[in-house]
A and B are shown apart, each in its own frame.
Chain A
């Protein structure tokens, strides 16, 4: 290590403890190191602003009610219109049982798929980073198992990939970088809908698109133009089943 390398390292991080060999032989770098440590102490003291008294804002009750600015989607219908009454009753019992299990687990019930998607995205703020770093192939493969869906190359720059639970199903949750910021994509092979459904939330707009026997939700900032993204996502996703 020479003087330039050492000084760059110590200026980037004054706690850098490498280069001991060079340091023991170079008085100039010892002086530089001491100067950096003193500089850092001054920086630290300057950054320690006085903090005003904490006023915790009024915290809303976390209920099932929908925010005013969220457009409700039509309730999903799980049964064909012509189903016999006993099927409907049996299905109701099953759905009620499943819902009870979910409520015990999360304590939250959602009015619509869109509401659950909005809440889910809000619960993972760390997913929405502006970045040009893509996720690893291993991470992507774990989030989007081959038996769920195949992703083509035109999906976009995928910067987040996770397997998440939406409406009781494990679904791939991806984030790509749009023109206005990160865009969330949820691949939901088991959420069948009849037609595309637009929805909005706080500073966001989204759409749930019917794709085969499932659907795909795309959600971006309010001013994000989702049309182009819709096109590339639809081109690149194929359900495996």
Chain B
């Protein structure tokens, strides 16, 4: 009786996190993998892993960072399994191209393309800061970097985007 009550509570807790953070998980996965179909796979795997590991999460306030860490690891696992080659911007698959064809807005299309072309090292901290609201300290922790390295990458990422947008 007690165990079935625990199971229900566990499921409710899981559903609550998923409801709140699913969009963040998907967008983070999409910008890490630069592919919408892969992002969906990565999120599915991450949800399964989160479900199995839910008891390890002690504080609700850490849920977002915990889930995004799982997404990051699942993305790395996915690419390790598939041994995907680097993306060639001129030969995108339909699912990769879908990422760049979101809304019919020329300025946003250009920006999305510029972000897409950023190196992973620059794109990821930018996504964590702008989209996920992480501080540079939190980004450093998530990516295993020193804070100075994060500041440099963010500065360079914006400089590249600014330059790219000026060219359009």
CA distance A51 to B159 in the complex (A): 28
Q: Which of A39, A46, A129 has the most CB of B within 10 A?
A: A46
- Give the residues from 97 to 143 in chain B that come closer than 8 angstroms, CB to CB, to chain A: 99, 102, 107-108, 111-112, 115, 126-127, 129-131, 136
> Across the interface, do B56 and A51 meet the contact criterion of CB distance under 8 Å?
no
Q: Which residues from A are CB-within-8-Å of B150?
A: 12
Do B77 and A203 touch across chains, with their CB atoms under 8 A apart?
Answer: yes
Residues on B with beta carbons closer than 8 Å to the beta carbon of A107: 3, 6
Task: Report Cα–Cα, A226/B107, bound state, in Å.
Answer: 51
Query: Closest CB of chain B to A40's CB: distance in Å?
Result: 6
Distance in Å: Cβ of A45 to nearest Cβ of chain B: 6
**Contact flags (1/0) for B132-168 with A, using CB distance below 8 Å?**
0000100000001110001110110011011001000
Residues of B within 8 A of A47 (CB): 27, 31, 115, 127, 130-131
- Secondary structure at the B interface, as helix, strand, loop or mixed, is helix
In the complex, chain A residues whose CB is within 8 Å of the CB of B27: 47-49, 51
Contact B53 A122 (CB under 8 A): yes
Q: In the assembled complex, how far is the CB of residue A33 from the closest CB belonging to chain B, in whole angstroms?
A: 12
- CB-based contact A46/B151 at 8 Å: no
CA distance A43 to B22 in the complex (A): 21
Q: How far is the CA of A46 from the CA of B14 in the complex (A)?
A: 29
Q: Is A190 an interface residue (CB 8 A)?
A: no
Instruction: Judge if B38 is at the interface, Cβ distance under 8 Å.
Output: no
Given contacts A12-B151, A51-B26, A122-B52, contact A42 B130 (CB under 8 A): no
Q: Known contacts A125-B49, A129-B144; is A43 also within 8 Å of B30 by CB? A: no
A56-64, A76-84, A136-144, A207-215: which one contacts chain B? A56-64
Tell me which residues across on chain B come within 8 A of A123, comparing CB atoms. 52-53, 55-56
Check B126–A43 contact: CB distance below 8 A. Answer: yes
* Residue pair B22, A59 in contact (C-beta under 8 Å): no
Chain A residues with Cβ below 8 Å from B51 are 59-60
B41-93: which have CB < 8 Å to A? Answer: 44, 47-49, 51-53, 55-56, 65-66, 69-70, 73, 77
Q: Is the CB of A13 within 8 A of B129?
A: yes
Residues of B within 8 A of A8 (CB): 151, 155
Residues of B within 8 A of A (CB): 3, 6-7, 10-11, 14-15, 18, 22-23, 26-27, 30-31, 36, 40, 44, 47-49, 51-53, 55-56, 65-66, 69-70, 73, 77, 99, 102, 107-108, 111-112, 115, 126-127, 129-131, 136, 144-146, 150-152, 154-155, 158-159, 161-162, 165
